[in-house]
Amino acid sequence: MSSKRRWTKSTIIFGGIAIWGLILVGCVMVDRTVVAPPNVAGATYVGSKKCADCHEDQTAHFKGATHANLALKDDKGTDIGCEACHGAGSVHVKAGGGKGTIVNPNKSPETCFTCHLDKRGEFSLPNAHPVLAGKVTCGDCHNPHEGKVIQRTGAELETPNETCTKCHTSQKGPFLFPHQAMQEGCTICHNPHGSVNQKMLVARDANLCLRCHLEHPSTVAGGVVGDGKISAGGEDHRTRLQGGTCWVAGCHEDVHGSNASKAMRY
């Protein structure tokens, strides 16, 4: 009689215990410390004033930054605003600066993810800016040291879309006939952190466009609510939408703007 080896629930449970035991072997044999990113092994807080000694450019205008709203202090009341993101600074100060002694969120998003859990989830999706791959950093779009973290909004001088068009050249324009949605900002259609949908779209189908373009059916002659019409631009688009989205070939292809067609057909 031969018994074929199989993975069973017991195998997994007791196998897990075995692995755990191996881990403990290591843990009791050495006292070296490993820490989950983005911490600095063996470091303690020194306070933001200490950081300003060398990093004046980064600290001078932090008072007006969005993240200053957190007003983080340690249990002795020391302002630890800088170290909340960069990790405890004592090792860095003692070493006189240098790599490996402080957390640099511009190299890894782990710091940002400690609070922005949702962004970790979004950047892990199949359609996302390559932040986890290290090709893009949070700091490429956000400045945590000064002003609003969502840059160029409100009464700030620059316009919001510059954050995107500094890399996305072909969307920069100006187009002869721009898509009005561009005035709402790129994020009205795209989630720049990541989406389940291709092109980081907030919706993959015609719902994306109909949010702003769905009209009362009466804009089509004889139309009434519930008659099966999908009215947009004064026309019933139901038949056309059978084919796919609004921005497929032969329909409204130039979604960011066009230089030849006001309806962005081409």
Q: Which range, of 44-52, 138-146, 212-220, touches another protein by CB under 8 A?
A: 212-220
Among 96, 135, 221, 222, binds another protein (CB under 8 A): 135
The residue among 50 and 251 lying less far from another protein, judged by its C-beta, is 251
Q: Could you say whether residue 50 binds another protein (CB under 8 A)?
A: no
For 177, list phi and psi in degrees, rounded to 5.
Answer: -125, 85
Q: Which of 49, 115, 103, 45 is nearest to 75 (CA)?
A: 45
Q: Could you say whether residue 54 binds another protein (CB under 8 A)?
A: no
Q: Could you say whether residue 63 binds another protein (CB under 8 A)?
A: yes
For 86, list phi and psi in degrees, rounded to 5.
Answer: -95, 0
Strands 257-258 and 231-232: unpaired
Q: Could you say whether residue 202 binds another protein (CB under 8 A)?
A: yes
Determine the length of the chain. 266
Q: Could you say whether residue 8 binds another protein (CB under 8 A)?
A: yes
78-117: contacts with another protein (CB under 8 A): 98-101, 113-117
The residue among 50 and 120 lying less far from another protein, judged by its C-beta, is 120
Among 53, 76, 96, 133, binds another protein (CB under 8 A): 133
Please provide the DSSP assignment of 166-200 as one string. Answer: TT-GGG----SEE-THHHH-GGGTB-TT-BSSGGG
In the complex, least distance from residue 61 CB atom to another protein, rounded to whole angstroms: 8
Query: Which amino acid type is present at position 239?
Result: T
Q: Could you say whether residue 180 binds another protein (CB under 8 A)?
A: yes
Residue pair 134/141 in contact (Cβ under 8 Å)? The answer is no
Q: Could you say whether residue 152 binds another protein (CB under 8 A)?
A: no
